[in-house]
Amino acid sequence: MGRAGAAAMIPGLALLWAVGVGGVAPSPPRLRLSFQELQAWHGLQTFSLERTCCYEALLVDEERGRLFVGAENHVASLSLDNISKQAKKLAWPAPVEWREECNWAGKDIGTECMNFVKLLHAYNHTHLLACGTGAFHPTCAFVEVGHRPEEPVLRLDPGRIEDGKGKSPYDPRHRAASVLVGEELYSGVAADLMGRDFTIFRSLGQRPSLRTEPHDSRWLNEPKFVKVFWIPESENPDDDKIYFFFRETAVEAAPAMGRLLVSRVGQICRNDVGGQRSLVNKWTTFLKARLVCSVPGVEGDTHFDQLQDVFLLSSRDHRTSLLYAVFSTSSSIFQGSAVCVYSMNDVRRAFLGPFAHKEGPMHQWVSYQGRVPYPRPETCATTHFTTPSKPLAPSVPPRTSPTMSSILRGTTPSCTTLSCPLGGGLFSYKLEPITPSLKLPRTGLQPLTDTMTSSSLAQTLARC
């Protein structure tokens, strides 16, 4: 990735918020916005760091009134009230030795051997956790941000630098997704230099780290991680689960069909402690199910197979929380995007259903009819209910494959049929001219062009 290319992709950051002007009739709902229109609009201000690209990590901190930004060799802290007021930046380059090593490994010193900050999480009352590629030497650090909104602080804590392997990707072109729960980080990332050892990894905290089986396509097959959420299920923290959203190449596709890209939701129990023998330090509760988003049309259904982003609309009763997911197509003939909604209830139900199973290499994938292990792997261990003391036989699911047989079909949200005002909150924008257009179902609306990211779109829709 050349600097010029990357810079062209994300020319700057813009922050937009609702200008709630009392007494003025609300303008008609908008579903199409170009960057020019945003620029012309009163509420838009932009921010960019000199000689820096790739504003990839964004963290809104409403308590402090700040937007934290991770970019190439930098972390910035911006005011949510006025993006150009009291902006602070922190230089966090990779050490010279790491850059030289990176260069010896054949990477470009000027573009790849930099520290691309990929991850920012609020760690505690005073610090953020930040992780970056560190010139193909992933690294994490704690950034002091203070606790008083009126006195913004932005300082790297030199006392505690962590290995960033399994947290940030090595390669600036790769994405990672993660969530911090307490002191533990759950991440979906490639954990090796070559970018082939994809893993769902738990790290930091006090417990031993856990991961998915390395280089086993049944667990993960060239995944692209999109989002991770921690979703409690009841008052009991033992029921808490972590949900991973990603897309991957399906192993269950018939060979005649060629490469089939699918979108997935994966789950693990927060209280998973790993298995025994060959499963030491591996998840025992990892399961995944397929997400499908298709929109009916006159000439048949249009399938949107590429999950791009997910927004969780939490409700007090976690069972009724909704997931707004943005999909695009991988087809070269038709390009478009759609928003599909899934209920957490349906997601849970899919994980309670039958497993997908294949008796042998020459067999078809079917729903597993045999005896299911007890307690089922999706049941998180509790004090009453412990994980199987006997390791599962390798011939039964989910040891054979952690994939569920049920397919989750999303509904297209009713609010995409309009009446969704833009505004009413804060939106952060990454300006990507190449964001695919949005094709909304059955309403004949204009596609959304260039600038809005899928994430902010999903948030917009979820607010109506």
Ligand X SMILES: *[C@@H]1O[C@H](CO)[C@@H](O)[C@H](O)[C@H]1NC(C)=O
- Please check whether residue 65 is in contact with residue 80, taking contact to mean a CB–CB distance below 8 angstroms: yes
Residue found by looking up tokens 């380059």 in the block: 93
Give every CB contact of residue 361 below 8 A, 6+ residues apart in sequence. Answer: none
Q: Which of 392, 339, 386 is nearest to 370 (CA)?
A: 392
Residue 458 to residues 110, 124, 245, 271, 449, Cα–Cα distance (Å)? 35, 28, 15, 30, 15
Q: Which is nearer to ligand X, 122 or 253 (CB)?
A: 122
CB of 208 to ligand X, least distance (A): 19
The answer to whether residue 155 forms part of the interface with ligand X (CB under 6 A) is no
Q: Which is nearer to ligand X, 155 or 196 (CB)?
A: 155
Which range in 56-64, 70-78, 80-88, 230-238 contacts ligand X by CB under 6 A? 80-88
Among 92, 142, 355, 427, the residue binding ligand X under the rule CB under 6 A is 142
Give every CB contact of residue 252 below 8 A, 6+ residues apart in sequence. Answer: 356, 358, 365, 401, 403
Q: Which of 142, 133, 210, 129 is nearest to 165 (CA)?
A: 133
CB of 410 to ligand X, least distance (A): 39
Q: Which is nearer to ligand X, 142 or 304 (CB)?
A: 142
Q: How many residues bind ligand X (CB under 6 A)?
A: 11
Q: Which of 330, 327, 358 is nearest to 340 (CA)?
A: 327
Among 22, 27, 28, 85, the residue binding ligand X under the rule CB under 6 A is 85
Cα 149 from Cα 62, distance rounded (Å): 10
For ligand X, the binding residues in 213-272 under the rule CB under 6 A are none
Q: Which is nearer to ligand X, 157 or 301 (CB)?
A: 157
Helix (H, G, I), strand (E, B) or coil at 340: strand
In sequence order, the β-bridge partners of residue 292 are 409
CB of 73 to ligand X, least distance (A): 22
Among 4, 36, 37, 84, the residue binding ligand X under the rule CB under 6 A is 84
CB of 398 to ligand X, least distance (A): 36
Cα 254 from Cα 211, distance rounded (Å): 28
CB of 85 to ligand X, least distance (A): 4
Among 160, 215, 319, 409, the residue binding ligand X under the rule CB under 6 A is 160
Peptide bond into 375 cis (omega under 30): yes
Looking at residue 374, the DSSP 8-state letter turns out to be S
Q: Which is nearer to ligand X, 129 or 458 (CB)?
A: 129
- Per residue in 94-112, is it b (16+ CB within 10 Å) or e — as a string? beeebbebbbeeebeeebb
The answer to whether residue 411 forms part of the interface with ligand X (CB under 6 A) is no
The answer to whether residue 127 forms part of the interface with ligand X (CB under 6 A) is yes
Q: Which is nearer to ligand X, 85 or 259 (CB)?
A: 85
Tokens representing 395 are 């011939």
Q: Which is nearer to ligand X, 19 or 109 (CB)?
A: 19
CB of 17 to ligand X, least distance (A): 11
Q: Which is nearer to ligand X, 26 or 158 (CB)?
A: 158
User: What is the per-residue binding string for ligand X in 167-206, x denoting contact by CB under 6 A?
Assistant: ----------------------------------------
Q: Which is nearer to ligand X, 85 or 148 (CB)?
A: 85
For ligand X, the binding residues in 97-126 under the rule CB under 6 A are 123-126
Q: Using H for helix, E for strand and C for coil, what is the string for 214-226?
A: CCCCCCCCCCEEE
CB of 124 to ligand X, least distance (A): 4
Which residues in this chain contact ligand X in the complex, by CB under 6 A?
A: 82, 84-85, 123-127, 142, 157, 160
